[in-house]
Structure formats: C-alpha cells, structure tokens
Amino acid sequence: MYFLELYFSNTRANGDGVFKVKKLGDDLRKWTLLPAGQRHREILQLAGLTCAGLPFVPRLPGNLTRFRGRHDNPLRMECILARHNRWDGIPSMPSIFGSGLTMDEAGRLTPLNRHSCELLPSAVPVVKVKMGNGIRRFFLLGYGSAACFCEGQDDFDFEDPFHRLRRFKSLYDNSTPITNPIAFLERLHYKAILKSRYPARQTMNRLCRLLTEYLYVDTSPWLERACDFGVQWAQLKAWQKRACLPVLDAVRYMVDVFSVSGKPLDQPGVMLLDRPDLFCATEMFPKWMTLLDRLLPSMQCLLSVSEKARSQCPSDVLLKRLPLPAPPDKAPEKKPPRRVGGGNVLLIQLDGRLPNLALMKLSQYYKGRGKKVILERRKSRITGADAVYASCVFAQTPSWKRTVDLKNFYGDSLILGGSGVDLEKKLPAEIEAMPADYSLYPELGDRAIGFLTRGCPFRCLFCIVPRKEGDVRQVSALDELLQDNRKKLILLDDNILAHPAANAFLEEMVHRDLQVNFTQTLDISLLNRETAALLRRIRCTNTKFTRTVYHFSLNDTRRLGLVGKKYRLMNFTPGDNVEFVCMYGYNTTLAQDVERFRFLRSLPGAYVFVQQYQPIEGGPSPQLTHYFDDNADELIDELIRIVFTQNMKSMEKYYRWLSRFYAGTFKRLHKGLVDTIFRYNHRFEKGHYIATMAGTRKNVRLP
C-alpha cells in the first residue's frame, strides 16, 4: 500500500482541507516532509486512521473525538490509496482507489461507500477496505515522537487478536511501548545465524551493515554464533539506543509480515513518523534518514520534522521515487458454455487426485465405438455431447456442490455415479470388463492403475467397502493391468492381503520386479513371515513413485500387541518410511488416541497420517460422549510431546480438531495445544483463535 491523498472536514486542528503526496507521472515521492507542530501531527494521525482499518481504529488509545472539530458536525476522513496486488486485497480491486470514515459526536465510526463519499474526486472508485485476519494487507507503521521500548515480555506469538495495532499505536500515544530490542535481536539471531534461514539471514546482514555504517554500532558480535544481546545493548550509547528503537521495530514487523517473500525488507508499505528527528541528535538525523532509506527501499515515509532537521535532510534521499503499482489485469470475461459437435462423449472427474478408473473404462468403451472422448475435471460447461458421465468418489461438501452445479447445467442428460453419490450404481458388466484407456490420463506416464481384487471379508461399520464391494474376490490379473509392459502399479485393492491367493499375487509382483503403490493401505494384522518377506522384496512406493513407502492403518487400540508383533516381521529400520493411516473422531477416546500415537512413535520408521471420520450414508454417528476423562490435560501434554520425524502437518489437523472439541467441552483452551498448533504455521492467527475459543465463539468482533 501507498498513501496518495487525504481529504478531511471538521478536524480539530486543520478544519477542512486536502493533503496530497507529490507525484511525478507514474511515480510518487518516497519521502514526504511536513513541518513540526500539532497541525501536521494531526495530518499524520488522520492518515493513519484512514489506513489502519475499521476494526482497529476504535481500539486506539485515547478518545478519538479529540480529532473532531465542531460538535454539531461529524468528522469526515477520505483518502486515496494505491494497493499492491500481491499483498493488498483481491486481484479484482482497482490499483488506485478511495476509502473513508466518518465519526459522529459519540466517536462512533462508519465506513463510507461510493455513494456516501463527498470529498473525493468523482472519478475515484471507492472500496470498503477489509483487513481480514491476515497481517499483510495494507501494511502500516506509525511512530510517535517519544516512543519507548517494551521492557517486559513482548508478544512475539501474536496472542493479541489486535496485534496489528502495535505497529502504529505509538503515533497516537507515546507511552505505548514498541518492540523489545533485546528480545527481537535474540530471535532474529537464532533464525539468521543458528538456523541459517534465508530471509532472516538476509535481514540480519543488511541491518548489521547499515547500523555500523550510519550509527557506528559495532555489530560484528551480532553475527557470531554466540552473542549476548543484553550485554551488547547495554554497551550502546544512549543516542544509539534511541536511534535504533524505531528501526528495529520496523524490521521486526517487516520480518513478521513479509518473510514469505524471501526479501522482507524490500516490500512496500507506509510509515508515518512524528518528529523522528528527536530519535537522535540533530547532526545524526541525516545519517538516520539515509539508513532507513537504504534499509527499507520500497517503504513510503511521511514525517513531520523541525525546520532545522528539514534543512539537513540529504538531497539524494529526498529525490527518491517509488513506482505506483500497475493496474491489475482485467478479470477474464465469463466464457459462455463451450459447444462440441455430435459424436462426442463428455467424462467429468468431480474429485480425487488419482486418475478415475471408471472413466478410463468408459473412455475405452466409447472410443471403440468411434466416439471422441473429452475429459473435464471438477467443473464443466460443455454442450452438444452425445452423453455426459460424471464420477464422484467422495461424499464430501465440495464434491456435493459440484454435483449440484452439474445437475443444474446438464439436467437429465447427466449420468452421475461413484461411491460419493451412489454405492449401488455400477458400470455395466461389458464396460467393467474393458481395459483402462491410459491415453485419457497421459500424466500417468509409465504407471498402471487398477484392481487385482475387490472387497473385504470384514464388516467395519464405518467403511463403505462391505456394502459397495462385498467379500474379497479377484477381478483381474496383472497381465490385464500392466499394459505396454509397465513396471509401476497403483493398486486400488480394498484388502488384497485378505484374499487366499495374496501371497501368489505378491510373488508374481516380485518376479516381475514391479514397483507397487498399495493406495488403500495393507492390513498389517494379516501378515505372516512369508507375506512380510515378499513385501520387503517388492518396491512399495508412494503414488508418484518417488520414494519407498509402506502403507498400513491403525484405527483403534484393540490389537496393538498383535500389530507390534506383525510389524517386527517386516524388520523395518528408522530409515524406512512406514505410514500408518489413523482415523479419529469415531469411537476412540483421547487416552486411546494418545496410546496409538505413543505406540507408533515406538516403532522404527513409523509415522502417522490422520484422517477424520466421515460418516457414510446409513453408517454410525461418532461415538465421542466419553472422549475426555479426568486426565485430559495430562494426556494432551503427553500428546504434544509425541513428535514424528515427518508428516506432522497431518497431525496439525488432528490438533485443531482436538482443540476445538476441548474448548467446546471445557469452555477453555489448552494453552500448550494452542502453542503447538501455531508454533510454525499461521502464527498471526493465534490471537483470533484464542479470542474466539478455537472458533467456538461466534459473537466476537475481530478484524
């Protein structure tokens, strides 16, 4: 974001007026200097009010009516902003737009729409700025003339849902502390020097170089692996500390917000500074200004300074320009439905990442009858086809919505099938017997896909297989699946080890030297020494065939002893990749979940992939009445200490489900669990999460 113009009426110090940043063609002045004094401090503060976002402005310190002039009229603030497409708002927003607020006599704020803006030029599009829960939109920093640093605990964990306020709060109240420099430098040093993370390392190097060059700070110890920043900070002179405070605060928030870019200090934003010449001795101000200019090359700076400081500002810095953001690309026009001629058959894969075997068989069938086959994914708006088939694998909301859209568009001409919509509907026997058309999914490359067996002898109530497929039986042979002498096989079997000829199938895979992905997992309880030996000789892989992976499942704790015994038959080592799919939210308790994860962590090479139970049509509801017991807190404490060497992002989904369930049950949050959820990902959402009790409270007004 860049700030371009401010229109105001009925302000306390300035009355009615206009303030504009100087532009030159498609550039604007990077540095805008205002005279010192109350009138221009108010200009900076009004600019901050229009940029800060409506959820945050009412939480600024002090009575906001102090900015209003006459009591019988509202205060009106309207501005023109330039947004940067990557960070600010949705792509369809205009790059230059207007926004505004009014304040009534009670200090209540109302956002302005295009009909209620009275001061902006009529040609300027007006947008109600929405900040959302993120931290990158419309980046604003603000500093008062006497900002002090936080001597106590600093909130680096975003536990305050309104943490954005800290970026500019001191502009309105000098007693508001800004970043604790010692704590921040310790954190930056850890990431940059000890962990050698690129954004932090690049930031630390630039910061150290410029502080040494312009403020004469000896930063060489800062780049060593062992550094006591408490000692280093104490050794700085008083004026150096004062000059460093806003600099370190700005760097802290740039790193917080823009590390995802790889170059956080190079990103755009607006910085409002009231009397920054008081941050250091007058003779040092030109150096401080140059430091900031080089440290944050894309940051727009608006500041009020004394006349003496103004006369000493370096001319090369004052001449700097910033390019205005380019207009966004026009949104593509909504295309009318595509029409194809007769003789075409349309196949639609509604969901799933793997190629759809049923559609591959339909393609083979219709191509054999001289039809041209068209494959679409997720959505489709094509007319004129002789037949339209859609396959839905998962009974989940996104898939259901797509089926509704397709039905509305295609009507009765749509033939819809798949386990996501109908467990009874099957392909005609003639088509089911067809070989798969691999040309339909050229991304398969040299991989084959299909079933050797279907069905399962067990009758798990949560599973669709007993109803959909029945008992285990052989439905094809390897020769039928491995077209063109393929050596890689994605096997879709429900429970291949339950078939009496399972070892014969595995022995043939060994003989053919196949790489096999057992997509639906293997039933570890059915292993014996011979089966285990054969599986170890088969190159079991993931679906992309990029690494060796063994897939098993563990949905409860009833047979952990047996599972451990069978696992030892495989002679796995810590270097193996053994994934256990674990269902949760069905009929286990927290104690049983922790027992499962503890058990898996004890197995060499094993890790977990968790999946939440999704009730099937006519299936049982989750049985979780007694999920928590009196030891819930201790169990969660143990749970978050169970760390697998890989796939912990999958566990995060379970943590979030558990946290919400815990909050709904006990009307409080488990702090350790919340800290674990936000340790690495989406840290800026932590305050919002806490304030809404993991989303269980809906009436909390937050940004």
pLDDT tens per residue across span 52-68 = 988 888 889 888 999 99
On whether both 19 and 122 belong to a single domain, the answer is yes
Fill in the DSSP letter of residue 576: S
Q: Tokens for 378, please give them.
A: 């997720």
Letter string b/e over residues 504-523, b meaning 16 or more CB atoms within 10 A of that residue's CB: ebbbbbbebebbbbbebbbb
Which segments in the chain show pLDDT lower than 70?
Answer: 131-134, 150, 152-153, 329-334, 699-703
On whether both 197 and 301 belong to a single domain, the answer is yes
On whether both 319 and 347 belong to a single domain, the answer is no
Whether residue 329 lies inside any domain: the answer is no
Whether residue 459 lies inside any domain: the answer is no
Chosen domain end from 431, 452, 484: 431
On whether both 228 and 362 belong to a single domain, the answer is no
Q: Which amino acid is at 449?
A: I
On whether both 228 and 344 belong to a single domain, the answer is no
Distances (CA, A) of 148 to 144, 153, 254, 642: 9, 14, 19, 41
- The range of the structural domain enclosing residue 408 comes to 338-431
On whether both 319 and 346 belong to a single domain, the answer is no
**Any residues with CB less than 8 A from the CB of 166 and at least 6 apart, and which?**
155, 160, 176, 178
Nearest alpha carbon to residue 358 among 399, 446, 417, 445: 417
On whether both 566 and 642 belong to a single domain, the answer is yes
Chosen domain end from 297, 323, 349: 323
On whether both 198 and 167 belong to a single domain, the answer is yes
Whether residue 486 lies inside any domain: the answer is no
Q: What is the pLDDT of residue 330?
A: 67
Alpha-carbon distance of 235 to 484, in angstroms, equals 74
CA torsion through residues 369, 371, 376, 380, sign: negative
Chosen domain end from 323, 351, 373: 323
**Any residues with CB less than 8 A from the CB of 660 and at least 6 apart, and which?**
694, 695, 696
- Contact between 260 and 684 under an 8 Å Cβ cutoff? The reply is no
Q: What is the pLDDT of residue 152?
A: 66
Q: Tokens for 585, please give them.
A: 């939210």
In the block, residue with structure tokens 């039933």: 523
Q: What is the pLDDT of residue 513?
A: 95
Whether residue 373 lies inside any domain: the answer is yes
Nearest alpha carbon to residue 291 among 206, 405, 218: 206
Q: Tokens for 80, please give them.
A: 């023109």
Q: What is the pLDDT of residue 460?
A: 86
CATH (domain of 282): 3.40.50
In the block, residue with structure tokens 């900002």: 147
Alpha-carbon distance of 259 to 220, in angstroms, equals 24
Q: How many CB atoms lie within 10 A of CB 279?
A: 21
On whether both 423 and 308 belong to a single domain, the answer is no
Alpha-carbon distance of 678 to 672, in angstroms, equals 10
Whether residue 500 lies inside any domain: the answer is no
Distances (CA, A) of 471 to 134, 389, 465, 640: 51, 28, 9, 40
Judged by phi (left if over 0) then psi (alpha if -120 to 50, else beta), residue 47 lies in alpha
Letter string b/e over residues 418-446, b meaning 16 or more CB atoms within 10 A of that residue's CB: bbbbebeeebeeeeeebebbbebbeebee
Nearest alpha carbon to residue 305 among 120, 559, 35: 35
Whether residue 203 lies inside any domain: the answer is yes
Whether residue 42 lies inside any domain: the answer is yes
- Contact between 16 and 32 under an 8 Å Cβ cutoff? The reply is no
Q: Coil, strand or helix: which one is 164?
A: helix
In the block, residue with structure tokens 């498609």: 26
pTM for the predicted model, two decimal places:
0.85
On whether both 349 and 292 belong to a single domain, the answer is no
Q: How large is the angle between the packed helices 560-569 and 590-602, nearest 10 degrees?
A: 20
Letter string b/e over residues 6-22, b meaning 16 or more CB atoms within 10 A of that residue's CB: bbbbbbebbeeeebebe
On whether both 311 and 407 belong to a single domain, the answer is no
Q: What is the pLDDT of residue 131?
A: 65
Q: How many residues does the chain have?
A: 703
In the block, residue with structure tokens 């096997």: 491
On whether both 227 and 107 belong to a single domain, the answer is yes
Whether residue 461 lies inside any domain: the answer is no
Alpha-carbon distance of 438 to 224, in angstroms, equals 58
Q: How many domains does the chain have?
A: 3
| 167-206: pLDDT as tens digits | 999 999 988 889 999 999 999 999 999 999 999 999 999 9
Q: What is the pLDDT of residue 86?
A: 85
Q: How many CB atoms lie within 10 A of CB 556?
A: 15
Alpha-carbon distance of 287 to 280, in angstroms, equals 10
